[in-house]
């Protein structure tokens, strides 16, 4: 079955840039999406279609794609950005898949 | 304003069938491109996609769970129902429903989730 691979954890200091990667064989052909989840809360969409930002999401959140890897970049990380981040995509038959999640720690 | 709300039993016994209802407002599941999905999250673990139903009544299921899942919709009641058979303690999780539509092509609005514990 199709899988998306994320690093379990990423740590950055406030004001630095955090980069969270997500790898999957179908990513060159399928869009990726990113969700932020804080403890006890439902996920929130922060990036759609690889690099688009929904309204209301701060400009410091951006997404990019290169080959089989997509990257969520958070520039000028703030304490409030500490959360779990999940990538999501789908295979060609419409089966949805989530990555294993990355815990972002703001030091 | 778009909202979704999950409802169902908080506790089920092993081997029982779980029935969850997602009641939504602010959109219609008869609108072209509109979908509702179920996603779960065991305590301390990652999100796991379960099933999706679209405006045209097409249904998609997790490969690993498809033999146990059934998703259906009642457009007149603005509800989507998920049944999962043969529940096991490993199915203990928070179950979310979420909307997917054509603009974002992503799960843009989520319910708050409902916690289901499987225990005898």
d(CA A11, CA A8): 10
- Cβ neighbours around A2 below 10 Å, total: 16
Task: Say yes or no for a CB contact (<8 Å) between A98 and B47.
Answer: yes
pLDDT-based confidence at residue A92 (cuts at 50, 70, 90): confident
pLDDT, tens only, B83-97: 999 999 999 999 999
Q: List A44's β-bridge partners, or say none.
A: A36
Closest CA to B34 of B13, B54, B10: B54
The span from the CA of B77 to the CA of B73, in Å, is 9
3-state secondary structure A76-88: CCCHHHCEEEEEE
The arithmetic mean of pLDDT across residues A58-74, rounded, is: 97
The whole-angstrom distance between B101's CA and the closest CA on chain A is 12
Residue B109 has pLDDT above 90, yes or no: yes
Please tell me which of the candidates A33, A94, A98 has its beta carbon nearest to residue B46: A98
What confidence tier does A2 reach under pLDDT thresholds 50, 70, 90?
confident
Of the pLDDT bands very low, low, confident and very high (cuts 50, 70, 90), residue B105 is confident
């Amino acid at each position: 079955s199709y899988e998306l691979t994320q690093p379990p954890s990423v740590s950055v200091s406030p004001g630095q840039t955090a980069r969270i990667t997500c790898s999957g064989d179908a990513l060159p052909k399928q869009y990726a999406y990113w969700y932020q989840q804080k403890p006890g809360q439902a996920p929130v969409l922060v990036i759609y279609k690889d690099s688009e930002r929904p309204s209301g999401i701060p400009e410091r959140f951006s997404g990019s794609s290169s080959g089989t890897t997509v990257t969520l970049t958070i520039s000028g990380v703030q304490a409030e950005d500490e959360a779990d981040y999940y990538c999501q995509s789908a295979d060609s038959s419409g089966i949805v898949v989530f990555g294993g999640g990355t815990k972002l720690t703001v030091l | 304003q778009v909202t979704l709300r999950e409802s169902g039993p908080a506790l089920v016994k092993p081997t029982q069938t779980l029935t969850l209802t997602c009641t939504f407002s602010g959109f219609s599941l008869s609108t072209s491109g509109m979908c509702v999905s179920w996603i779960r999250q065991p305590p301390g673990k990652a999100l796991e996609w379960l099933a999706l139903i679209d405006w045209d009544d097409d249904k998609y299921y997790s490969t690993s769970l498809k033999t146990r899942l059934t998703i259906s919709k009642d457009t007149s009641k603005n509800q989507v129902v998920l049944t999962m058979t043969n529940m096991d303690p490993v199915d203990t999780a928070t179950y979310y429903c979420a909307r997917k539509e054509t603009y974002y092509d992503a799960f843009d609005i989520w319910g708050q989730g409902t916690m289901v514990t499987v225990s005898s």
